[in-house]
Amino acid sequence: MSKKLIAIMLTVAVALSLGLAGCAKKPAGVGDLAKDQTLRFNVGAEPETLDPALQTGIPEFNIGSQMYEGLTRMDGNNKPYAGVAEKWDISSDNLKYTFHLRKNAKWSNGDPVTAKDFEWSWKRALDPRTGSQYAYQLYYIKGGKTLNEVDAKDEAKIKQLSDALGVKATDDYTLEVTLEAPTPYFLGLTSFPTLYPVHRAEVEKFADKWATKPEQFVTNGPFKMTKWVNNQVIEMEKSKTYWDAKNVPLKKLMIYLIDDQNTGLTMWESGQTDLDNNVPVQEIDRLKKEGKLTTLPYLGTYYYSFNVTKKPFDDPRVRKAFAMAIDRKLITDQILKDGRLPAYAFVCPGIPDTEAGKDFRAVGGDYFKEDIEAAKKLLADAGYKDMKKFPSFEIIYNSSASHKAIAEAIQEMWSKNLGIPKEKVKLHVEEWKVYLETRDAHNFQVARAGWIGDYVDPMTFMDMFVTNGGNNDTTYSNPKFDELINTAKMSADPKVRMQAMHDAEKILIGDDMVVAPIYYYVSNWLMKPYVKGLAINTIGGVDFKNAWIEKH
Question: In the structure, what pLDDT confidence band is assigned to residue 173 with cuts at 50, 70 and 90?
Answer: very high
Amino acid at 361: R
Strands (E), 45-198: 72-74, 80-82, 85-90, 96-101, 167-171, 174-178
With beta carbons less than 8 A apart as the criterion, state whether 473 and 515 touch: no
Report pLDDT digits (tens) over 454-475.
999 999 999 999 999 989 999 9
Instruction: Specify the pLDDT at position 17.
Output: 35
Instruction: Specify the pLDDT at position 23.
Output: 38
Instruction: Specify the pLDDT at position 413.
Output: 98
Question: In the structure, what pLDDT confidence band is assigned to residue 537 with cuts at 50, 70 and 90?
Answer: confident
With beta carbons less than 8 A apart as the criterion, state whether 340 and 521 touch: yes
Question: In the structure, what pLDDT confidence band is assigned to residue 77 with cuts at 50, 70 and 90?
Answer: confident
Please give the average per-residue pLDDT across 244-261, as a whole number: 96
With beta carbons less than 8 A apart as the criterion, state whether 548 and 30 touch: no
With beta carbons less than 8 A apart as the criterion, state whether 354 and 406 touch: no
Closest among 494, 496, 500, 540 to 184, alpha carbons compared? 494
Q: How many CA atoms lie within 13 A of 441 on its CB side?
A: 8
Tell me: pLDDT of 107 over 80. yes
Instruction: Specify the pLDDT at position 30.
Output: 37
Instruction: Specify the pLDDT at position 208.
Output: 86
| Residue-averaged pLDDT of the chain | 93
Report pLDDT digits (tens) over 342-378.
999 999 999 999 999 999 999 999 999 999 999 999 9
Tell me: pLDDT of 499 over 70. yes
Instruction: Specify the pLDDT at position 6.
Output: 33
How far apart CA 162 and CA 343 sit, in angstroms, is: 41
Show the domains of the chain with their CATH numbers.
Answer: 3-254+528-549 (3.90.76.10), 297-523 (3.10.105.10)
Complete DSSP assignment for 342-378? E-SSSSPS--B-SSTT-BHHHHH--S----HHHHHHH
Sign of CA dihedral 316, 395, 524, 211: negative
Question: In the structure, what pLDDT confidence band is assigned to residue 1 with cuts at 50, 70 and 90?
Answer: very low
Complete DSSP assignment for 297-326? EEEEEEEEEE-TTSTTTTSHHHHHHHHHT-
Report pLDDT digits (tens) over 155-169.
999 999 999 999 999
Contacts of 470 (CB under 8 A, 6+ apart): 132, 133, 134, 135, 136, 464
Report pLDDT digits (tens) over 224-243.
999 999 999 999 999 999 99
Q: 3-state DSSP call for residue 337?
A: coil
* Backbone phi, psi, residue 51, to 5°: -80, 115
Instruction: Specify the pLDDT at position 78.
Output: 85
Number of H helices, E strands in the chain: 18, 21
Instruction: Specify the pLDDT at position 506.
Output: 98
Instruction: Specify the pLDDT at position 76.
Output: 80
How far apart CA 460 and CA 453 sit, in angstroms, is: 6
Please give the average per-residue pLDDT across 479-484, as a whole number: 98
How far apart CA 399 and CA 432 sit, in angstroms, is: 7
Please give the average per-residue pLDDT across 141-168, as a whole number: 97
Please give the average per-residue pLDDT across 123-133, as a whole number: 97
Report pLDDT digits (tens) over 25-61.
444 443 489 999 999 999 999 999 999 999 998 999 9
How far apart CA 126 and CA 158 sit, in angstroms, is: 10
Task: Order the strands of the 85-90 sheet from edge to edge.
Answer: 85-90, 96-101, 174-178, 167-171
